[in-house]
Structure 1
């Protein structure tokens, strides 16, 4: 498998992918990244990439910092028994990075990464409490004992420096010191005393300069303070170790989650890199399927595009790659056959591993295996010939390939007797095609080209060649085979003309050469018939377009009359609503009047229609969807209808046959649907919401009002009663002041005396769209 990947330039692609990664641990995983061969995972990987691609498209760039491997940090900490402050700073960087990217990933396919961060977030608070990240050390207030110790150290150091300054000035004035300064040796403060005066300065001799001219002496007056500071620093270190061990125990306890976090982050960072790489060559996401044709429109090998970014003079050629079952590619040497084979294989691997691919559009099956036989794998140490190594590859392919496999063969059968080798390859290819394996092979063999005509599943194509300039064009043309043009290439590199003439004589004496010429004539006849067929199809297409235009005219007329009738009913409906609102009657009475009107409208609009008239091929209106479709099949109680690319089965009462003169039945159905909606809205307008605010403080009451008003608005309730009572009037005034500025409130008023008077405020909400 790894050898096949290398032959398809997978390792070279990973080199470019690695350039978009920041952290070393992600780069390490990237180098050994294996393509995916599972359909469900392929869809998942693509969804992950699509989500991040959409973020980039919205201008939300994701720039990830360099992080240290959590696994390595934990391994080192385990060995020493605790985390050092510098390790904790690196862990904090992880939290800072996750805090930055998690808001972008809310409710996304990366939920596991967010959940792990949330689970570990409490540890970040503990780190913040004890660690000074800028200085990379434990804070003074990480514990009470550490605070006291460091305070005493500072006080002792201030006292020591004060004494040392006085001692230094004293001896400098006497001329005992080389310079008016003090320094440190092994953490102890010393004075640079001239050698001849070293007995004049009482203290501890720490060092003598190489020249012997200076003795570094710690004055006796600060020895006790220095000892005290050293003792305090020892206690400080013990306290720091204690604090670090406590936090380390917490981290060790959560080591598994941190390891999972690193793995999830690696997947995330590699996905980001895939998207960045895909954007660099303006790639697209292919449509992935479990099976079907392999179709790429205007695709190219990604390394050619990436090479173009560095070399502006390089212009890669884009090709369409269409593989129904098998494809045989022929053409001249250096024409691009092998590159096309590699492009097919590499784009397949990229598509099912979450990459964008450099193409205009693509529709690809997900392969469970990809086999490649390309180049020369002979092993001279094992006494293995080139042909025997190819045979081993073919044997493995025959043993393992199935209907979910892709097999790529580059000039198979070479290295042995041409006729025998090509016969063997023909049998292998035919067997693979019978298994419904996708097969693509390149060849110069005339034998294989002719066999391809007999095997229906094996289509032919050639790499285009410019016969004027004698240069390859690298464009793939389907439906014809190409010549190897060995003579042209030989002439181009300088072969003598007499050699080429002699070779032509040998070629013309071959029996199959004459047969090939006959076959060429037959192919020309087929091409002429194809041209005539194409012309006939064009004529039929023109007639179809004329009929389509007529159908559109009829449809527009029908739609226009339909809209006129609907507008008429809507107008009458609005007048009815206006009349109902002007009458002060009960809600029950209003709904009764409304039902009478609906019944009247529907009775006037319905036209009797015999449902049996509907037959296959009729155009119908599907009422639940309000869309037009074509009848595929009429059953006893249901009808199967095609709407665009969607096929559905609906009951007969939900389907109306479309005839421009018979509009009223469709109108009535649509009017009924609209009236039902208006009736539901009218019912909601009579709902009342009562909110009791008695006994609440002003703040509590306003929170309750906000919550209930929002809920009422969403439920379509237009009238809300706020029961605040009389009392001191403070709550009432606060509520009414709040209502004046509320965006959902249309107006408000005190209730009628029998509904509570000034102790109740009635709020009228805006209508929900």
Structure 2
């Protein structure tokens, strides 16, 4: 399934959905999104997407708040830990988000939908939110969190002032003993910068000294007594703060299940509105869903092609038609068309809206694709091997509830054999009962599409005047590669085009290959002046003294398998070319003499037979072979052999 998602670019749709989500759980659900296989669940999901889209159209985006970190906060609270002020502020923010979401959904109830009533499954816990807001502010416990805390902090402020004033008074009385005229804080103690030689003149504790050792930082004894009182007050303050934090933590822990319910609802709403936003941004619509193996698309668009540049796709399959074969020129949009059908089908079955005017999509048990090169150097797979390997896997899985999509069917090998394989694959797909959508260039496959039951041809429209693809799918018609039109437009002479046409398709009025060959010779003999040759280097060929005999004898050897025209019969060379240019050929039950010009090499003898092969087995009669065998043992005047036994006919 993941490979299909990548091939049809559904993974990119999920990437966009993830960007729309606010919560981690919603993003994880999007990453795990796969087509529904239960119709009831799919219809429910589509209904939610539709309602979310309607809310977005009428009321705009819901006021979502990220719930990141709430899980850890609840675990700490429930395990007896103490939540810090920053964590309690996160709790307050989440409760504020719940309250705003409830207000938003209450306003949406005028739409008479079911989605806004999710509001009833959430609790804003206003009392707890207000308690936290009153006691926690700016990342610390507020002064007014309790009367005791307020009183302690006021006393601490007065004591801090008193300590500083005491230290500064001592400094003024000992200016001559100090190196600076200000007090300084060292290791949490308010100290005087005393000269080293004046240490004995000031009573107090040595706290620190300068890097040179000439200045000593002394905490006066009187200041130390006041500092001790200050530290005691601060300890009382800390205890009161912890008491308040534990009290708020207990309140959070008591509402653990309510918090988790809020989180579940918000994550669900986040997922639903992400789908709604995707629908809004793509200008998509809710598709119809069926289980009757039917697909209808009216003015569909690929999600990643700009709307103003995209040619709408109109497509249908199902009922009597189980397969569609699309033909047409390269760059004409065939691949985009089949990928659009597959992608929109997956989107619909995942509960998403699809970018089209109208859509009716069947539920598929699986969507199977063979699109792209697939060549793998490390696995020693050629393009054709990769295609066939993938196709065989698809054929194994394809069933009545499958949608199969294949691009360039039978490509990557000899055209004749590729065509045959393409038809065989189509037959297998047709008998599997699946819906299938394929593209091809083979004319024989187009003919198959016209004759086979439950299969229909389609083509990508092409403007032969401007030689531009129109990217419009036309059901019921077969297309062409348009190579001849393009070649003519680019200046290829008519004589060359006619040769190409005969070579590709033969002539409608005369299918005799000999006649076609003769016609090609006639066309080639006509020299037109509309192709301008560029002058370039030329090969200087070596001319032997006499080539007449060599030309007649060098090509064919005894045992070569050749094609005899115009009958297109296979034969074996019995005798090399004589001085009249004739070959003796062994056909079935007879030998003939024929001009070497009417013969074409099929398979050389060296590829058919081992060295020193006895050709009498082929050309001699049984009686001759027996007689020769007896004569090789002893002289037999009563026996006579004729190697070229059998009447040779003159066949010029």
Identify the TM-score tier after normalising by the shorter chain: 0.5 to 0.7
1:497 is matched with which residue?
492
SS in 2 for 1:302: coil
1:298 is matched with which residue?
299
d(CA) in 2 for partners of 1:149, 1:51: 51
SS in 2 for 1:497: coil
Relative distance call for 1:179 and 1:246 in structure 2 (3 A) is: same
1:164 is matched with which residue?
164
d(CA) in 2 for partners of 1:210, 1:148: 44
SS in 2 for 1:279: helix
For the Cα contact (< 8 Å) 2:196–2:215, is it kept in 1? yes
Relative distance call for 1:227 and 1:448 in structure 2 (3 A) is: farther
1:463 aligns with 2:460: yes
1:684 is matched with which residue?
none
2:274 is matched with which residue?
273
Instruction: Please give the root-mean-square deviation of Cα atoms over the aligned residues, in Å.
Output: 3.8
Relative distance call for 1:244 and 1:14 in structure 2 (3 A) is: same
d(CA) in 2 for partners of 1:150, 1:278: 54
1:650 is matched with which residue?
none
Alignment of 1:74-223 (within 5 A): 81-105=81-105, 109-110=114-115, 114=119, 117-118=122-123, 121-122=124-125, 125-126=127-128, 128-130=130-132, 132-139=135-142, 148=148, 151-172=151-172, 175=175, 182=183, 184-191=185-192, 201-208=202-209, 216-223=217-224
Shift of 1:284: 1.7
1:317 aligns with 2:311: yes
Post-superposition CA distance 1:194-252 (Å, at most 9, x none) = 77766655444444455767655444323234334434544554565566556556756
Alignment of 1:581-596 (within 5 A): none
d(CA) in 1 for partners of 2:249, 2:440: 64
Alignment of 1:379-458 (within 5 A): 379-458=376-455
d(CA) in 2 for partners of 1:199, 1:92: 57
For the Cα contact (< 8 Å) 1:298–1:360, is it kept in 2? yes
SS in 2 for 1:303: coil
1:745 is matched with which residue?
none
1:636 is matched with which residue?
none
1:363 aligns with 2:360: yes
d(CA) in 1 for partners of 2:486, 2:199: 94
SS in 2 for 1:371: strand
For the Cα contact (< 8 Å) 1:43–1:352, is it kept in 2? no
Relative distance call for 1:156 and 1:92 in structure 2 (3 A) is: closer
Post-superposition CA distance 1:431-458 (Å, at most 9, x none) = 4344442211111121221111122322
Q: Taking structure 2 as the reference length, what is the TM-score of the superposition?
A: 0.67
For the Cα contact (< 8 Å) 1:326–1:439, is it kept in 2? yes
1:20 aligns with 2:25: no
d(CA) in 2 for partners of 1:266, 1:516: 73
1:50 is matched with which residue?
50
Relative distance call for 1:173 and 1:280 in structure 2 (3 A) is: farther
Post-superposition CA distance 1:111-150 (Å, at most 9, x none) = 79545533xx55x6446435644323345676x7xx5366
d(CA) in 2 for partners of 1:437, 1:39: 19
Q: Considering only CA atoms, is the larger Rg found in Structure 1 or Structure 2?
A: 2
More divergent stretch after superposition (457-466 vs 20-29): 20-29
Shift of 1:375: 0.7
**Consecutive unaligned residues in structure 2, runs of 5 or more:** 512-652
2:480 is matched with which residue?
483
For the Cα contact (< 8 Å) 1:25–1:69, is it kept in 2? no
Q: Work out the number of aligned pairs and report it.
A: 501
Alignment of 1:560-579 (within 5 A): none
Relative distance call for 1:179 and 1:380 in structure 2 (3 A) is: same
d(CA) in 2 for partners of 1:249, 1:380: 63
For the Cα contact (< 8 Å) 1:188–1:218, is it kept in 2? yes
SS in 2 for 1:480: coil
For the Cα contact (< 8 Å) 2:95–2:129, is it kept in 1? no
Alignment of 1:605-624 (within 5 A): none
Shift of 1:186: 4.2
d(CA) in 2 for partners of 1:246, 1:490: 85
Shift of 1:254: 6.7
Relative distance call for 1:497 and 1:158 in structure 2 (3 A) is: same
Relative distance call for 1:406 and 1:243 in structure 2 (3 A) is: farther
d(CA) in 2 for partners of 1:438, 1:151: 80
d(CA) in 1 for partners of 2:75, 2:192: 45
Of Structure 1 and Structure 2, which has the larger fraction of its residues in helix?
1
d(CA) in 1 for partners of 2:497, 2:268: 58
1:372 aligns with 2:369: yes
More divergent stretch after superposition (406-415 vs 334-343): 406-415
Shift of 1:62: 1.9
Relative distance call for 1:57 and 1:423 in structure 2 (3 A) is: same
Relative distance call for 1:215 and 1:127 in structure 2 (3 A) is: farther
Relative distance call for 1:239 and 1:315 in structure 2 (3 A) is: same
SS in 2 for 1:461: strand
d(CA) in 2 for partners of 1:479, 1:390: 27
Post-superposition CA distance 1:548-607 (Å, at most 9, x none) = xxxxxxxxxxxxxxxxxxxxxxxxxxxxxxxxxxxxxxxxxxxxxxxxxxxxxxxxxxxx
Shift of 1:103: 3.4
